[in-house]
A and B are shown apart, each in its own frame.
Chain A
Amino acid sequence: MHSYGYRANAVLTFSLTLLAVMCAMASLSDNRNSPSPSAHVQLRSLILNVTSFHRLSLYVVSMAMNISADLQSLFTWNTKQVFVFLAAEYRTPKHSLNQISLWDGIIPSKEHAKFWIHTSNKYRFIDQGSNLRGKEFNLTMHWHVMPKTGKMFADKIVMPGYRLPEEYR
Protein backbone atom coordinates (compact mmCIF):
# COMPACT_ATOMS: atom_id res chain seq x y z
CA MET A 1 0.00 0.00 0.00
CA HIS A 2 2.74 2.49 0.89
CA SER A 3 4.74 2.50 -2.30
CA TYR A 4 6.54 5.60 -3.60
CA GLY A 5 4.03 5.82 -6.41
CA TYR A 6 1.18 6.21 -3.94
CA ARG A 7 2.98 8.81 -1.88
CA ALA A 8 3.91 10.87 -4.91
CA ASN A 9 0.33 10.66 -6.13
CA ALA A 10 -1.04 11.74 -2.74
CA VAL A 11 1.36 14.69 -2.47
CA LEU A 12 0.60 15.82 -6.03
CA THR A 13 -3.17 15.54 -5.59
CA PHE A 14 -3.09 17.39 -2.28
CA SER A 15 -0.93 20.23 -3.55
CA LEU A 16 -3.02 20.68 -6.70
CA THR A 17 -6.24 20.74 -4.65
CA LEU A 18 -4.73 23.29 -2.29
CA LEU A 19 -3.61 25.45 -5.22
CA ALA A 20 -7.07 25.29 -6.77
CA VAL A 21 -8.71 26.29 -3.48
CA MET A 22 -6.29 29.21 -3.08
CA CYS A 23 -7.02 30.42 -6.63
CA ALA A 24 -10.76 30.21 -5.98
CA MET A 25 -10.39 32.15 -2.72
CA ALA A 26 -8.29 34.84 -4.40
CA SER A 27 -10.96 35.21 -7.07
CA LEU A 28 -13.77 35.33 -4.50
CA SER A 29 -11.95 38.01 -2.51
CA ASP A 30 -12.45 40.34 -5.49
CA ASN A 31 -16.15 40.47 -4.66
CA ARG A 32 -15.38 42.34 -1.44
CA ASN A 33 -14.12 45.31 -3.44
CA SER A 34 -16.78 47.90 -4.29
CA PRO A 35 -15.07 50.30 -6.68
CA SER A 36 -16.02 53.93 -7.28
CA PRO A 37 -14.22 54.95 -10.46
CA SER A 38 -14.71 58.27 -12.19
CA ALA A 39 -14.15 59.40 -15.77
CA HIS A 40 -14.48 62.61 -17.70
CA VAL A 41 -14.17 63.28 -21.42
CA GLN A 42 -13.90 66.65 -23.05
CA LEU A 43 -14.24 66.86 -26.83
CA ARG A 44 -11.88 69.38 -28.32
CA SER A 45 -12.88 68.88 -31.93
CA LEU A 46 -15.46 66.84 -33.82
CA ILE A 47 -15.28 66.87 -37.61
CA LEU A 48 -17.31 64.95 -40.18
CA ASN A 49 -15.53 63.91 -43.37
CA VAL A 50 -16.40 61.63 -46.26
CA THR A 51 -14.28 58.56 -46.97
CA SER A 52 -14.51 55.49 -49.12
CA PHE A 53 -14.79 52.16 -47.34
CA HIS A 54 -14.89 49.01 -49.50
CA ARG A 55 -16.31 50.93 -52.50
CA LEU A 56 -18.90 52.71 -50.35
CA SER A 57 -18.83 56.41 -49.71
CA LEU A 58 -19.33 56.92 -45.98
CA TYR A 59 -19.03 59.56 -43.32
CA VAL A 60 -16.03 59.30 -41.08
CA VAL A 61 -15.63 61.21 -37.84
CA SER A 62 -12.32 62.52 -36.67
CA MET A 63 -12.19 63.76 -33.14
CA ALA A 64 -9.75 65.02 -30.57
CA MET A 65 -10.44 64.66 -26.89
CA ASN A 66 -9.13 64.94 -23.39
CA ILE A 67 -9.78 61.86 -21.31
CA SER A 68 -9.29 61.93 -17.58
CA ALA A 69 -10.13 59.07 -15.27
CA ASP A 70 -9.44 57.76 -11.80
CA LEU A 71 -9.67 53.97 -11.81
CA GLN A 72 -7.51 53.32 -8.76
CA SER A 73 -10.36 51.78 -6.79
CA LEU A 74 -10.66 48.94 -9.34
CA PHE A 75 -7.34 47.48 -8.30
CA THR A 76 -7.17 44.72 -5.71
CA TRP A 77 -4.35 42.36 -4.82
CA ASN A 78 -5.68 39.90 -7.44
CA THR A 79 -5.71 42.42 -10.30
CA LYS A 80 -3.25 41.89 -13.11
CA GLN A 81 -4.35 44.79 -15.28
CA VAL A 82 -7.31 46.90 -16.25
CA PHE A 83 -8.27 47.26 -19.89
CA VAL A 84 -10.06 50.55 -20.42
CA PHE A 85 -11.69 51.87 -23.56
CA LEU A 86 -13.88 54.70 -24.72
CA ALA A 87 -16.69 53.86 -27.14
CA ALA A 88 -19.22 55.91 -29.06
CA GLU A 89 -22.68 54.35 -28.79
CA TYR A 90 -25.73 55.35 -30.81
CA ARG A 91 -28.97 54.08 -32.34
CA THR A 92 -29.87 54.18 -35.99
CA PRO A 93 -33.17 53.21 -37.68
CA LYS A 94 -31.75 49.86 -38.78
CA HIS A 95 -29.54 49.11 -35.78
CA SER A 96 -30.67 49.17 -32.17
CA LEU A 97 -27.11 49.48 -30.94
CA ASN A 98 -23.85 50.53 -32.52
CA GLN A 99 -20.67 50.53 -30.49
CA ILE A 100 -17.49 51.95 -31.94
CA SER A 101 -14.35 51.77 -29.88
CA LEU A 102 -12.46 55.05 -30.21
CA TRP A 103 -9.56 54.75 -27.82
CA ASP A 104 -8.26 52.03 -25.52
CA GLY A 105 -5.45 51.46 -23.10
CA ILE A 106 -4.00 48.95 -20.68
CA ILE A 107 -3.39 50.06 -17.12
CA PRO A 108 -0.76 47.78 -15.61
CA SER A 109 -0.88 48.95 -12.01
CA LYS A 110 -2.63 51.13 -9.47
CA GLU A 111 0.03 53.83 -9.81
CA HIS A 112 -1.00 54.37 -13.44
CA ALA A 113 -4.73 54.25 -12.78
CA LYS A 114 -5.19 58.00 -12.37
CA PHE A 115 -4.44 59.49 -15.74
CA TRP A 116 -5.10 62.32 -18.11
CA ILE A 117 -4.47 62.04 -21.80
CA HIS A 118 -5.04 64.09 -24.84
CA THR A 119 -5.68 61.97 -27.92
CA SER A 120 -7.40 61.65 -31.25
CA ASN A 121 -9.52 58.63 -32.11
CA LYS A 122 -7.37 55.52 -32.50
CA TYR A 123 -9.91 53.48 -34.50
CA ARG A 124 -11.99 54.70 -37.42
CA PHE A 125 -15.37 56.06 -36.42
CA ILE A 126 -17.59 55.03 -39.34
CA ASP A 127 -21.13 53.68 -39.50
CA GLN A 128 -22.41 50.76 -41.57
CA GLY A 129 -24.79 53.15 -43.32
CA SER A 130 -24.80 56.91 -43.73
CA ASN A 131 -26.45 57.88 -40.48
CA LEU A 132 -23.76 59.91 -38.81
CA ARG A 133 -24.78 63.41 -39.91
CA GLY A 134 -26.20 65.29 -36.94
CA LYS A 135 -26.34 62.04 -34.96
CA GLU A 136 -26.68 62.09 -31.20
CA PHE A 137 -24.38 59.68 -29.41
CA ASN A 138 -23.15 58.64 -25.99
CA LEU A 139 -19.55 58.31 -25.01
CA THR A 140 -19.10 55.34 -22.74
CA MET A 141 -16.05 54.53 -20.70
CA HIS A 142 -15.80 50.75 -20.30
CA TRP A 143 -13.32 48.84 -18.18
CA HIS A 144 -12.50 45.16 -17.96
CA VAL A 145 -10.62 44.04 -14.89
CA MET A 146 -8.33 41.12 -15.67
CA PRO A 147 -7.43 39.15 -12.55
CA LYS A 148 -4.23 37.29 -11.76
CA THR A 149 -6.53 34.30 -11.50
CA GLY A 150 -10.27 33.75 -11.55
CA LYS A 151 -13.29 35.71 -12.69
CA MET A 152 -13.09 38.80 -14.90
CA PHE A 153 -15.13 41.90 -14.10
CA ALA A 154 -16.48 44.65 -16.33
CA ASP A 155 -18.45 47.85 -15.91
CA LYS A 156 -18.94 51.23 -17.53
CA ILE A 157 -19.78 54.91 -17.14
CA VAL A 158 -22.16 56.38 -19.73
CA MET A 159 -21.72 60.04 -20.68
CA PRO A 160 -24.73 61.08 -22.79
CA GLY A 161 -25.51 64.17 -24.81
CA TYR A 162 -22.97 64.43 -27.62
CA ARG A 163 -23.97 65.32 -31.16
CA LEU A 164 -22.15 65.05 -34.48
CA PRO A 165 -22.11 68.13 -36.73
CA GLU A 166 -24.58 68.59 -39.60
CA GLU A 167 -22.03 69.92 -42.02
CA TYR A 168 -19.29 67.80 -43.55
CA ARG A 169 -16.35 68.28 -45.84
Chain B
Amino acid sequence: MGWIGESVDSIKSLQIRQVLTQAVSLGMIVTSALIIWKALMCITGSESPVVVVLSGSMEPGFKRGDILFLHMSKDPIRAGEIVVFNVDGREIPIVHRVIKVHEREDTGEVDVLTKGDNNYGDDRLLYAHGQLWLQRHHIMGRAVGFLPYVGWVTIIMTEKPIIKYILIGALGLLVITSKD
Protein backbone atom coordinates (compact mmCIF):
# COMPACT_ATOMS: atom_id res chain seq x y z
CA MET B 1 0.00 0.00 0.00
CA GLY B 2 3.08 2.22 0.10
CA TRP B 3 2.63 3.44 -3.45
CA ILE B 4 -0.98 4.51 -2.92
CA GLY B 5 -0.12 6.24 0.36
CA GLU B 6 2.65 8.10 -1.36
CA SER B 7 0.28 9.18 -4.12
CA VAL B 8 -2.28 10.44 -1.62
CA ASP B 9 0.42 12.35 0.21
CA SER B 10 1.65 13.94 -2.97
CA ILE B 11 -1.89 14.99 -3.90
CA LYS B 12 -2.29 16.55 -0.43
CA SER B 13 0.96 18.46 -0.71
CA LEU B 14 0.10 20.00 -4.09
CA GLN B 15 0.81 23.67 -4.51
CA ILE B 16 -1.09 25.90 -6.90
CA ARG B 17 2.05 26.34 -9.06
CA GLN B 18 2.53 22.58 -9.21
CA VAL B 19 -1.09 22.02 -10.14
CA LEU B 20 -0.69 24.41 -13.04
CA THR B 21 2.47 22.65 -14.24
CA GLN B 22 0.71 19.30 -14.16
CA ALA B 23 -2.26 20.70 -16.03
CA VAL B 24 0.05 22.07 -18.70
CA SER B 25 1.93 18.79 -19.05
CA LEU B 26 -1.35 16.88 -19.30
CA GLY B 27 -2.46 19.31 -21.99
CA MET B 28 0.83 18.78 -23.82
CA ILE B 29 0.29 15.02 -23.89
CA VAL B 30 -3.23 15.35 -25.25
CA THR B 31 -2.30 17.95 -27.86
CA SER B 32 0.79 16.07 -29.05
CA ALA B 33 -1.37 12.97 -29.62
CA LEU B 34 -3.77 15.14 -31.59
CA ILE B 35 -0.89 16.67 -33.58
CA ILE B 36 0.44 13.21 -34.51
CA TRP B 37 -3.03 12.07 -35.63
CA LYS B 38 -3.66 15.20 -37.71
CA ALA B 39 -0.17 15.03 -39.22
CA LEU B 40 -0.83 11.42 -40.25
CA MET B 41 -4.08 12.57 -41.84
CA CYS B 42 -2.17 15.15 -43.89
CA ILE B 43 0.58 12.75 -44.94
CA THR B 44 -1.68 9.85 -45.92
CA GLY B 45 -4.51 11.96 -47.33
CA SER B 46 -7.01 9.68 -45.65
CA GLU B 47 -9.55 10.87 -43.12
CA SER B 48 -8.66 7.97 -40.85
CA PRO B 49 -5.05 6.86 -41.43
CA VAL B 50 -5.27 3.83 -39.16
CA VAL B 51 -8.19 1.41 -38.92
CA VAL B 52 -8.83 -1.64 -36.80
CA VAL B 53 -10.21 -4.76 -38.48
CA LEU B 54 -13.47 -5.68 -36.76
CA SER B 55 -14.73 -8.67 -38.73
CA GLY B 56 -13.34 -11.92 -40.04
CA SER B 57 -14.38 -11.31 -43.64
CA MET B 58 -10.77 -10.94 -44.82
CA GLU B 59 -9.37 -13.98 -43.00
CA PRO B 60 -6.82 -15.46 -43.08
CA GLY B 61 -5.13 -12.26 -44.28
CA PHE B 62 -6.58 -9.88 -41.73
CA LYS B 63 -7.99 -11.11 -38.45
CA ARG B 64 -10.14 -9.24 -35.97
CA GLY B 65 -7.93 -6.92 -33.96
CA ASP B 66 -5.30 -6.30 -36.65
CA ILE B 67 -4.38 -2.76 -37.61
CA LEU B 68 -4.24 -1.42 -41.15
CA PHE B 69 -2.45 1.70 -42.32
CA LEU B 70 -4.34 3.54 -45.03
CA HIS B 71 -3.16 5.75 -47.80
CA MET B 72 -5.30 7.79 -50.16
CA SER B 73 -3.29 9.03 -53.12
CA LYS B 74 -4.49 10.34 -56.47
CA ASP B 75 -3.56 7.01 -58.08
CA PRO B 76 -6.52 5.25 -59.66
CA ILE B 77 -8.08 2.32 -57.85
CA ARG B 78 -7.25 -1.05 -59.35
CA ALA B 79 -8.48 -4.60 -58.94
CA GLY B 80 -6.83 -6.51 -56.11
CA GLU B 81 -6.31 -3.52 -53.86
CA ILE B 82 -7.75 -3.67 -50.37
CA VAL B 83 -9.89 -0.60 -49.81
CA VAL B 84 -11.76 0.80 -46.84
CA PHE B 85 -15.15 2.14 -47.81
CA ASN B 86 -18.26 3.64 -46.32
CA VAL B 87 -21.71 2.65 -47.48
CA ASP B 88 -24.57 5.13 -47.14
CA GLY B 89 -26.68 4.22 -44.13
CA ARG B 90 -23.93 2.18 -42.47
CA GLU B 91 -21.79 3.68 -39.75
CA ILE B 92 -18.88 1.27 -39.66
CA PRO B 93 -16.46 1.31 -42.61
CA ILE B 94 -15.72 -1.99 -44.34
CA VAL B 95 -12.31 -3.35 -45.40
CA HIS B 96 -12.58 -5.52 -48.53
CA ARG B 97 -10.77 -6.29 -51.77
CA VAL B 98 -11.61 -4.82 -55.17
CA ILE B 99 -12.57 -7.49 -57.72
CA LYS B 100 -13.99 -5.41 -60.59
CA VAL B 101 -13.08 -1.99 -61.95
CA HIS B 102 -14.66 0.04 -64.74
CA GLU B 103 -12.85 3.34 -65.33
CA ARG B 104 -14.51 5.98 -67.53
CA GLU B 105 -12.51 7.23 -70.49
CA ASP B 106 -13.66 10.88 -70.31
CA THR B 107 -13.93 11.69 -66.60
CA GLY B 108 -11.70 9.03 -65.07
CA GLU B 109 -14.46 8.11 -62.64
CA VAL B 110 -14.42 4.54 -61.45
CA ASP B 111 -17.08 1.99 -60.67
CA VAL B 112 -15.74 -0.60 -58.27
CA LEU B 113 -17.04 -3.88 -56.92
CA THR B 114 -15.56 -5.38 -53.75
CA LYS B 115 -15.56 -8.73 -51.96
CA GLY B 116 -14.18 -10.04 -48.70
CA ASP B 117 -11.58 -12.78 -49.21
CA ASN B 118 -13.38 -14.99 -46.74
CA ASN B 119 -16.89 -14.28 -48.04
CA TYR B 120 -18.57 -16.46 -50.59
CA GLY B 121 -20.23 -13.75 -52.68
CA ASP B 122 -19.46 -10.16 -53.64
CA ASP B 123 -20.49 -7.14 -51.58
CA ARG B 124 -23.63 -6.05 -53.44
CA LEU B 125 -25.67 -7.35 -50.51
CA LEU B 126 -23.78 -5.04 -48.15
CA TYR B 127 -24.19 -1.94 -50.30
CA ALA B 128 -27.14 0.42 -49.98
CA HIS B 129 -30.37 -0.87 -51.50
CA GLY B 130 -30.14 -0.82 -55.28
CA GLN B 131 -26.47 0.18 -55.30
CA LEU B 132 -24.41 -1.85 -57.75
CA TRP B 133 -21.03 -0.10 -57.62
CA LEU B 134 -18.83 1.88 -55.27
CA GLN B 135 -17.55 5.23 -56.49
CA ARG B 136 -14.48 7.17 -55.49
CA HIS B 137 -16.28 9.16 -52.78
CA HIS B 138 -17.26 6.01 -50.91
CA ILE B 139 -13.64 4.99 -50.53
CA MET B 140 -11.70 6.27 -47.53
CA GLY B 141 -8.34 4.79 -48.41
CA ARG B 142 -6.42 1.75 -49.50
CA ALA B 143 -4.54 -0.49 -47.11
CA VAL B 144 -0.76 -0.27 -47.53
CA GLY B 145 0.59 -1.65 -44.27
CA PHE B 146 -0.35 -4.13 -41.62
CA LEU B 147 0.33 -4.66 -37.93
CA PRO B 148 -1.15 -7.66 -36.12
CA TYR B 149 -2.99 -7.75 -32.77
CA VAL B 150 -2.47 -4.10 -31.74
CA GLY B 151 -6.10 -3.23 -32.50
CA TRP B 152 -7.30 -5.46 -29.66
CA VAL B 153 -6.57 -2.56 -27.31
CA THR B 154 -9.27 -0.44 -28.93
CA ILE B 155 -11.67 -3.36 -29.39
CA ILE B 156 -11.45 -4.21 -25.68
CA MET B 157 -11.84 -0.57 -24.71
CA THR B 158 -14.96 -0.06 -26.83
CA GLU B 159 -16.60 -3.30 -25.73
CA LYS B 160 -15.70 -3.03 -22.05
CA PRO B 161 -15.82 0.72 -21.30
CA ILE B 162 -15.05 0.09 -17.62
CA ILE B 163 -11.48 -0.88 -18.59
CA LYS B 164 -11.17 2.38 -20.51
CA TYR B 165 -12.21 4.43 -17.47
CA ILE B 166 -9.85 2.52 -15.17
CA LEU B 167 -7.00 3.07 -17.62
CA ILE B 168 -7.71 6.77 -18.07
CA GLY B 169 -8.05 7.18 -14.30
CA ALA B 170 -4.76 5.42 -13.61
CA LEU B 171 -2.91 7.44 -16.26
CA GLY B 172 -4.41 10.67 -14.93
CA LEU B 173 -3.33 9.80 -11.40
CA LEU B 174 0.16 8.98 -12.66
CA VAL B 175 0.45 12.34 -14.39
CA ILE B 176 -0.89 14.26 -11.39
CA THR B 177 1.33 12.54 -8.83
CA SER B 178 4.50 12.47 -10.90
CA LYS B 179 7.11 14.84 -9.51
CA ASP B 180 9.73 15.64 -12.08
Asked if A3 is at the interface of the complex by the 8 Å CB criterion, the answer is yes
Interface residues of A in 90-124 (CB under 8 A from B): 93-101, 104, 106, 108, 123
* Distance between B42 CB and nearest chain A CB, rounded to angstroms: 20
> Which of B6, B61, B180 contacts A83, CB < 8 Å?
B61
Number of chain A interface residues as a range: 35 or more
Chain A residue numbers with a CB within 8 Å of B61 are 80-81, 83, 106, 146
Asked if B99 is at the interface of the complex by the 8 Å CB criterion, the answer is yes
Proximity bits, B10-42, A CB within 8 Å = 1, else 0: 000000000000000000000000000000000
A83 and B97 within 8 A (CB) = yes
**Segment touching B, from A65-73, A148-156, A161-169:** A148-156
Asked if B172 is at the interface of the complex by the 8 Å CB criterion, the answer is no
* A83/B145 contact (C-beta < 8 A), A99-B78, A101-B100, A146-B61 known: no
User: In the complex, what distance in Å separates the CA atom of A146 from the CA atom of B144?
Assistant: 10
> Which of B99, B101, B148 contacts A123, CB < 8 Å?
B99
Number of chain B interface residues as a range: 20 to 34
A142 and B146 within 8 A (CB) = no
- With A101-B80, A148-B148, A151-B146 already in contact, 20 other A-B pairs whose C-beta atoms are closer than 8 Å: A4-B3, A5-B174, A94-B104, A94-B105, A96-B103, A97-B102, A97-B103, A99-B100, A100-B99, A106-B117, A123-B100, A144-B80, A146-B61, A146-B146, A149-B146, A150-B145, A150-B147, A151-B144, A152-B145, A154-B81
A to B CB contacts below 8 Å, 5 in the list:
A4-B3, A85-B79, A101-B79, A104-B117, A106-B61
Residues on B lying within 8 angstroms of A by beta carbon are 3, 6, 60-61, 76, 78-82, 97, 99-106, 108, 111, 117, 122, 132, 143-148, 174, 178, 180
